[in-house]
């Protein structure tokens, strides 16, 4: 009881209102935007079900909020103890997915549990962050490190990255790698190791292009480099997305008035391109406000890391922050045409149970670290 | 101490945070810069593109003008052809396709072929999948009924009516009317940017071609707002993007009224039944209007216009172009023939007007005429004949003698006065000029020397190098009948709007008042009357009671030829003489001129004259019927209103 009282007292004292409000704010905007994105289906008798997507998303947010609260309440140091266990379960489920291979849209990412299908690769993001954080925290040496020193930690995110590559899910694989490297960047690396690492990247990219990627993935990157060359094929999505965003102009077309979305020119507007819907409805001004919120959350995560009282907490905060940041950067970058089209969701904007749950559990951990600073 | 612990533990991470925040700032600045580029710098072009995406123009079809005969009977009209379209993206091969092919009655291989086509487009990304794709043209009404009944079970399948040309009288007057063909690449390139598009149909020959620009009409358009697919529309938003003008009404093609009488055409076709090939032209001698123009054999313009599909068109053309009787040729204007004895009145007039002969001077016909070292044959031994007898009995000897007196250029001059050797200006189908040979022509033909006096003798009986079209002969006989007025033949009487208002009315056009002595003309006309009325006349045997007619028979020899396409067993046919009859009726106060040509029909008196008689008879009966119809019609109900 006393523990509970102490806990609630600290919660009141340390409760991270800025983080909480920013996340809730983005989530509300996200749901409203999802309503706009699917509103063209309201009058369509064949697909009116899709128009209720935003309600479903609210359910996900509530469920995600509960899991997030759980992740915030349990002391993260006890979570640290189980980090490798979670990680092991995650790897097992990824292998399970590959074995079951229930096919959705040409790639197998899902495990079907009757009413719900979930994506282990989503939850794995959290487990990777926890495992890498644990690894970093287990190594208390503060001197500069070599590549060999970092290899075990790198292996922790490389293994699931390779597994999801086989699904194939290039986007998620990239997220693991990006989060992992960001976390490794917390440590100090020897100059010479850095040079070797950068030199090593080039042949890695070359072999990825030739052996790691599938034909359609190469096509996406090619059509990104020259979208005009293929106006109707792969480049079409990217082109329509840019047109939608540009059509928003400075002030936007207004809520539910974006014509690119309303007339069905935006592909995957609720999963991959919700930002385009938002940009068309609210214009540059709206985008600026939304980007400010996203940027704030990212920066705030670093702030929490800076204030964390141990290495694990700091690494978790950076990892969750990196997850959020890279999702945001890749997704928006792809919608505005500075990055190739990869299926990476925009946190709290894209429709999806697994991804919403993962994001909110991530924020729970962030809050957890913030509460116990 | 706790604080210290914390610092030492997290210490080596510390210096990284500033870099991370810097990284975040740079990344978001990059995104913001790009957004500014898209939403501010390039906003206008993207906004324009977005509007172009949703605003489109749909074409509003126009209808082709109707062609009618002199009595307002429809000769060429439009009917709907039901075409089947599918939207590949919406087509379900498990559920819909088997039903569709069953109701369409497609054969298994054809269905397979079409399925492959649809699947090919289905496999592509982008817009093509969402656009309608033509599956089959002009399906039967049964198929239409079946598909409409089951429309709910066939998502992605549409039955679209498009107008096609329809000729209710089939082969009747087909050369004059013409047919429709699909536009070819060359014509399309010529009309670049104009109203023609790939797949359009245009008039191929005849009136359909000559009056294409009137019949065609003009397409309209309407601006519409449309989504990437038909189901992604939001009602109410559409209005915002449509700027004025929103719609251009299509203009229907002009209707055309012809001078021909389809009942007369049918009567002629009926009378020509027993003949393989030939041509008949009937003109109004008082106006030059063409009342009927028949060329045999004919073709079915419905088939050539695609009524039975593209395969049938190809097949029909192959058959028609192989036929040695040349069904595609308009034998009334596009082909020339030696006129034979039908030309004799003009030779007589030429000699009379030059004062070379006296009408009463007699020539002794002993069955031929010796000229130089050649003996020119006559059809019989006529003994002593004057001009009248010579025309009535068609004595060649008389005209050989005439030919020895006259210069060939004098013959040609009078012929050209009557419109021979010159295009008539009908302007419907490519017109042959014919030929009035002169010394100059022979000089060109035989390189200077080589003119023989015998050529003039042959010209005088309408043989040799003389060649005329059936239309020319009809108009020259009309000029004889109306005492010297040569008309330009006329097929189109007026042009009307689709609502019936006359836009343009074509009055008769006189080409020339021929300078001919009335007394001399009267002599010739009397002789032409004698051909039918005199017991010795070449057409007397064929005269019908109640048909008051004047005219001239002709039996034109053809050069011995063996056309390559002709079966040797049937070669005899192509070496037989052409049978002619040219005349006018009624003889006393002429109203129509008629020329009948039976290709390789043999003797003109026996083979062409009876057809002419019966056609005139039919024409008289048609006239009577029309008269009674007019008089016996319902009296006007003045004072009563609806």
Tell me whether residues B39 and A249 touch, CB distance under 8 A: yes
In this structure, which long-range contacts are made by residues A189-194, counting pairs with CB atoms below 8 Å and at least 24 apart in sequence? A189/A144, A189/A145, A189/A146, A189/A147, A189/A150, A190/A144, A190/A145, A190/A146, A193/A145, A193/A146, A193/A147
Return d(Cα B171, Cα B167) in angstroms, integer.
Answer: 8
Return d(Cα B104, Cα B146) in angstroms, integer.
Answer: 8
Chain-centroid distance of CA A72 in Å reads: 19
State residue B326's pLDDT score.
Answer: 92
Note whether B561 contacts A: Cβ–Cβ < 8 A: no
Chain-centroid distance of CA B475 in Å reads: 21
Read off the pLDDT of each residue in B592-609 and give the average, rounded to a whole number.
92
Note whether B443 contacts A: Cβ–Cβ < 8 A: no
Q: Which chain B residues touch A283 with a CB distance below 8 Å?
A: 39
For residue B484, with 0-12 CB atoms within 10 Å meaning exposed, 13-18 middle and 19 or more buried, which class applies? Answer: middle
Q: Is the predicted pLDDT of residue B270 greater than 60, yes or no?
A: yes
Return d(Cα B31, Cα A292) in angstroms, integer.
Answer: 11
Bridge partners, residue B551, by sequence: B583
Determine contact, residues A280/A336, Cβ cutoff 8 Å.
no
Chain B residue at shortest CA distance from A182: B20
pLDDT band, very low/low/confident/very high, at B6 (cuts 50, 70, 90): very low
CATH of the domain at B398: 3.40.710.10
Q: Residue A59 phi/psi, 5° resolution?
A: -55, -45
b/e burial code for range A188-218 (CB count within 10 A of at least 16 → b): ebeeebeeeeeeeeeeeeeeeeeebbeeebe
| Shortest alpha-carbon distance between residue B183 and chain A (Å) | 29
In a domain, B311, yes or no: yes
Bridge partners, residue A212, by sequence: none
State residue B636's pLDDT score.
Answer: 41
CB count in 10 Å sphere of residue B427: 17
Q: Write the DSSP string, A276-318.
A: HHHHHHHHHHHHHHHHHHHHHHHHHHHHHHHH-SSHHHHHHHH
Return d(Cα B278, Cα B325) in angstroms, integer.
Answer: 9
Q: Is the predicted pLDDT of residue B481 greater than 70, yes or no?
A: yes
- Radius of gyration, alpha carbons of chain A: 21
pLDDT > 90 in chain B, percent:
55
- Among A8-12, B186-190, B554-558, whose mean pLDDT is lowest? A8-12
Determine contact, residues A138/A177, Cβ cutoff 8 Å.
no
CB count in 10 Å sphere of residue B353: 17
Per-residue pLDDT of chain A (373 residues; tens, 9 = 90+): 334 445 556 666 778 999 999 999 999 999 999 999 988 887 776 677 788 889 999 999 999 999 999 999 999 989 999 999 999 999 999 988 888 765 544 455 666 665 556 788 999 999 999 999 999 888 777 777 888 888 889 999 999 999 988 877 888 999 999 999 999 988 888 888 888 888 888 888 888 887 777 777 777 777 666 655 555 556 778 888 999 999 999 999 889 888 888 888 887 888 889 999 999 999 999 999 999 999 999 999 999 999 888 889 999 999 999 999 999 999 999 999 888 888 899 999 999 889 999 999 999 999 999 998 8
| Span B302-342, pLDDT tens digits | 989 887 777 788 999 999 999 889 999 999 999 999 999 99
State residue B308's pLDDT score.
Answer: 74
Q: Which chain B residues touch A40 with a CB distance below 8 Å?
A: 227, 232-234
In a domain, B526, yes or no: yes
Bridge partners, residue B371, by sequence: B374
In a domain, B382, yes or no: yes
Q: Write the DSSP string, A220-250.
A: HHHHHH-GGGGTTTTHHHHHHHHHHHHHHTT
Chain B residue at shortest CA distance from A47: B231
Q: Residue B178 phi/psi, 5° resolution?
A: 85, -165
Note whether B10 contacts A: Cβ–Cβ < 8 A: yes
Q: Residue B99 is encoded by which pair of tokens?
A: 């039903």
State residue B232's pLDDT score.
Answer: 47
State residue B163's pLDDT score.
Answer: 74
Note whether A215 contacts B: Cβ–Cβ < 8 A: no
pLDDT band, very low/low/confident/very high, at B7 (cuts 50, 70, 90): very low
Instruction: Using DSSP, state whether A3 is helix, strand or coil.
Output: helix
Chain B residue at shortest CA distance from A313: B10
Note whether A311 contacts B: Cβ–Cβ < 8 A: yes
Return d(Cα B304, Cα B206) in angstroms, integer.
Answer: 13
Return d(Cα A226, Cα A238) in angstroms, integer.
Answer: 11
Q: Is the predicted pLDDT of residue B2 greater than 60, yes or no?
A: no
Residues 126-165 of B with CB under 8 A from A: 126-128
In a domain, B152, yes or no: no
Determine contact, residues A334/A234, Cβ cutoff 8 Å.
no
Q: Which chain B residues touch A231 with a CB distance below 8 Å?
A: 126
In a domain, B24, yes or no: no
Return d(Cα A224, Cα B508) in angstroms, integer.
Answer: 71
Among A246, A247, A333, whose Cβ lies nearest the Cβ of B31? Answer: A333
Beta strands in B391-542 (DSSP E): 485-488, 492-496, 502-505, 509-513
Return d(Cα A246, Cα A260) in angstroms, integer.
Answer: 10
Return d(Cα B334, Cα B301) in angstroms, integer.
Answer: 18
State residue B548's pLDDT score.
Answer: 92
State residue A1's pLDDT score.
Answer: 37
Q: How many independent structural domains does chain B possess? A: 1
State residue A114's pLDDT score.
Answer: 54
Determine contact, residues A283/B73, Cβ cutoff 8 Å.
no
Instruction: Using DSSP, state whether B516 is helix, strand or coil.
Output: coil
Strand duo B247-248 + B220-225: pairing: antiparallel
**In the 8-state DSSP scheme, what is residue B193?**
T
In a domain, B218, yes or no: no
Residues 232-251 of B with CB under 8 A from A: 232-235, 237, 241
Return d(Cα A88, Cα A152) in angstroms, integer.
Answer: 15
Q: Is the predicted pLDDT of residue B3 greater than 50, yes or no?
A: no
| Shortest alpha-carbon distance between residue B68 and chain A (Å) | 48
In a domain, B566, yes or no: yes
State residue A169's pLDDT score.
Answer: 82
HSE-up (13 A, CA, CB side) for residue B390 = 34
CA angle in degrees (0–180, nearest 5) for B219-B225-B229: 105
| Shortest alpha-carbon distance between residue A135 and chain B (Å) | 14
State residue B563's pLDDT score.
Answer: 63
| Shortest alpha-carbon distance between residue A40 and chain B (Å) | 6
Q: Is the predicted pLDDT of residue B139 greater than 80, yes or no?
A: yes
State residue B356's pLDDT score.
Answer: 92
pLDDT > 70 in chain B, percent:
92
State residue A226's pLDDT score.
Answer: 63
Smallest CA-to-CA distance from B389 within B229, B528, B593 is with B528
Q: Residue A79 is encoded by which pair of tokens?
A: 């979570």
Note whether B124 contacts A: Cβ–Cβ < 8 A: yes
In a domain, B186, yes or no: no
Q: How far is CA B444 from CA B437, B438, B440, B448, in A?
A: 11, 10, 6, 6
Return d(Cα B136, Cα B128) in angstroms, integer.
Answer: 18
Among A44, A245, A295, whose Cβ lies nearest the Cβ of B28? Answer: A295
Nearest 10 degrees: CA dihedral of B568, B569, B574, B575? 90
Q: Write the DSSP string, A70-94.
A: HHHHS-HHHHHHHHHHHHHHHHHHH
Bridge partners, residue B55, by sequence: B225
> Which element (helix H / strand E) includes B319?
helix B310-322
Q: Residue B343 is encoded by which pair of tokens?
A: 């030309």
For residue A129, with 0-12 CB atoms within 10 Å meaning exposed, 13-18 middle and 19 or more buried, which class applies? Answer: buried
Q: Which residues contact A71 (CB under 8 A, 6 or more apart)?
A: A79, A361, A364, A365, A367, A368
Return d(Cα B138, Cα B141) in angstroms, integer.
Answer: 9
Chain B residue at shortest CA distance from A253: B47
State residue B634's pLDDT score.
Answer: 44
Domain that residue B617 falls in? 263-316+328-496+503-628
- Radius of gyration, alpha carbons of chain B: 37
Instruction: Using DSSP, state whether B138 is helix, strand or coil.
Output: strand
State residue B169's pLDDT score.
Answer: 95
CA angle in degrees (0–180, nearest 5) for B511-B515-B520: 130
| Shortest alpha-carbon distance between residue B309 and chain A (Å) | 33
Return d(Cα B495, Cα B66) in angstroms, integer.
Answer: 10
């Amino acid at each position: 009881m006393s523990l509970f009282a102490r806990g609630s007292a600290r919660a009141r004292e340390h409760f991270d209102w800025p983080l909480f409000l920013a996340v809730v704010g983005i989530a509300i905007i996200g749901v409203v935007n999802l309503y706009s994105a699917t509103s063209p289906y309201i009058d369509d008798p064949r697909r009116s079900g899709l128009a209720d997507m935003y309600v479903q998303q609210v359910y996900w947010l509530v469920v995600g909020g509960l899991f997030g609260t759980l992740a915030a309440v349990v002391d993260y140091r006890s979570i640290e103890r189980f980090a490798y266990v979670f990680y092991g379960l995650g790897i097992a489920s990824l292998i399970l997915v590959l074995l079951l291979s229930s096919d959705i849209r040409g790639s197998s990412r899902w495990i079907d549990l009757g009413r719900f299908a979930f994506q282990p690769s989503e939850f794995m993001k959290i487990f990777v962050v926890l495992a890498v954080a644990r690894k970093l925290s287990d190594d208390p040496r503060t001197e500069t490190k070599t590549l060999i020193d970092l290899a075990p930690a790198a292996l922790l995110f490389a293994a699931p990255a390779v597994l999801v590559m086989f699904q194939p899910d290039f986007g998620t694989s990239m997220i693991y790698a990006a989060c992992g490297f960001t976390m490794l960047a917390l440590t100090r690396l020897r100059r010479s190791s850095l040079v070797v690492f950068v030199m090593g990247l080039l042949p890695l990219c070359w072999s990825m292009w030739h052996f790691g990627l599938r034909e359609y993935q190469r096509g996406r990157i090619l059509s990104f480099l020259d979208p005009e060359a293929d106006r109707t094929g792969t480049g079409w999505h990217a082109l329509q997305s840019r047109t939608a965003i540009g059509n928003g102009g400075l002030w936007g077309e207004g809520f539910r008035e974006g014509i690119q979305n309303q007339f069905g020119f935006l592909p995957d507007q609720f999963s991959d391109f919700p930002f385009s819907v938002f940009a068309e409805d609210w214009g540059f001004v709206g985008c600026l406000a939304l980007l400010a919120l996203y940027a704030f959350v990212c920066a705030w995560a670093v702030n929490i890391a800076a204030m964390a009282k141990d290495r694990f907490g700091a690494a978790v905060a950076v990892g969750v922050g990196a997850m959020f940041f890279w999702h945001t950067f890749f997704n928006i970058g792809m919608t505005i045409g500075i990055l190739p089209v990869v299926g990476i969701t925009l946190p709290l904007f894209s429709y999806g149970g697994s991804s919403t749950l993962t994001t909110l559990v991530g924020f729970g951990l962030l809050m957890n670290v913030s509460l116990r600073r | 101490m706790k604080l210290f612990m914390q610092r030492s533990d997290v210490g080596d991470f510390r210096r990284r945070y500033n870099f991370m925040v810097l990284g975040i700032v740079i990344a978001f600045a990059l995104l913001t810069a790009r957004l500014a580029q898209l939403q501010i710098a390039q906003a206008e072009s993207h906004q324009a593109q977005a509007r172009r995406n949703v605003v489109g123009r749909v074409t509003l079809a126009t209808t082709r003008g109707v062609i009618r005969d002199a009595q307002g009977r429809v000769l060429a009209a439009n009917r709907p052809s039901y075409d089947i379209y599918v939207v590949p993206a919406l087509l379900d091969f498990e559920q819909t396709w088997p039903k569709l092919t069953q109701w369409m009655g497609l054969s298994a291989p054809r269905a397979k072929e079409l399925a492959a086509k649809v699947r090919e487009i289905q496999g592509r990304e982008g817009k093509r999948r969402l656009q309608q794709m033509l599956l089959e043209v002009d399906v039967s009404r049964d198929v239409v009924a079946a598909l409409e009944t089951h429309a709910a079970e066939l998502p992605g399948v549409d039955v679209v009516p498009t107008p096609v040309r329809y000729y209710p009288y089939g082969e009747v007057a087909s050369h004059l009317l013409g047919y429709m063909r699909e536009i070819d690449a060359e014509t399309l390139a010529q009309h670049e940017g104009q109203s023609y598009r790939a797949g359009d149909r245009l008039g191929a020959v005849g009136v359909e071609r000559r009056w294409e620009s009137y019949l065609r009409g003009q397409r309209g358009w309407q601006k519409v707002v449309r989504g990437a697919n038909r189901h992604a529309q939001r009602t109410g938003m559409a209005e915002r993007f449509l700027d004025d003008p929103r719609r251009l009404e299509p203009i229907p093609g002009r209707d055309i009224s012809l001078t021909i009488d389809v009942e007369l055409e049918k009567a002629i076709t009926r009378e020509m039944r027993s003949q393989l090939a030939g041509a008949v032209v009937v003109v109004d001698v008082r106006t030059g209007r063409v009342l009927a123009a028949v060329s045999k054999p004919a073709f079915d313009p419905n088939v050539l216009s695609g009524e039975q599909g593209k395969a049938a068109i190809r097949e029909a053309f192959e058959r028609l172009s192989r036929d040695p009787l040349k069904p595609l040729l308009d034998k009334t204007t596009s082909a020339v023939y030696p006129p034979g004895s039908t030309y004799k009145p003009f030779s007589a007039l030429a000699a009379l007007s030059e004062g070379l002969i006296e009408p009463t001077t007699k020539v002794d016909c002993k069955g031929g005429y010796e000229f130089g070292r050649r003996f020119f044959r006559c059809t019989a031994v006529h003994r002593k004949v004057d001009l009248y007898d010579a025309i009535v009995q068609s004595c060649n000897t008389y005209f050989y003698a005439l030919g020895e007196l006259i210069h060939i250029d004098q013959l040609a001059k009078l012929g050209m006065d009557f419109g021979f050797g010159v295009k008539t200006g009908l302007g419907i189908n490519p017109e042959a000029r014919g030929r009035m040979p002169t010394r100059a022509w022979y000089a060109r033909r035989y390189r200077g020397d080589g003119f023989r006096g015998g050529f003039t003798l042959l010209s005088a009986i309408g043989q040799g190098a003389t060649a005329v079209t059936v239309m020319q002969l009809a108009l020259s006989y009309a000029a004889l009948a109306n005492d010297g007025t040569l008309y330009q033949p006329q097929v189109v009487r007026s042009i009307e709007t689709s609502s019936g208002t006359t836009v343009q009315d074509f009055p008769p056009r006189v080409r020339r008042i021929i300078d001919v002595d009335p007394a001399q003309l009267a002599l010739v006309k009397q002789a032409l009357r004698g051909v039918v009325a005199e017991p010795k006349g070449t057409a007397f045997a064929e005269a019908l009671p109640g048909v008051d007619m004047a005219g001239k028979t002709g039996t034109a020899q053809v050069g011995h030829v063996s056309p390559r396409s002709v079966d040797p067993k049937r070669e005899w046919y192509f070496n037989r003489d052409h049978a002619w009859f040219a005349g006018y009726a009624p003889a006393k106060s002429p109203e129509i001129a008629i020329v009948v040509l039976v290709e390789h029909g043999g003797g003109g008196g026996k083979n062409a004259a009876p057809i002419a008689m019966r056609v005139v008879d039919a024409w008289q009966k048609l006239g009577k019927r029309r008269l009674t119809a007019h008089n016996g019609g319902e009296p006007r109900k003045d004072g009563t209103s609806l």
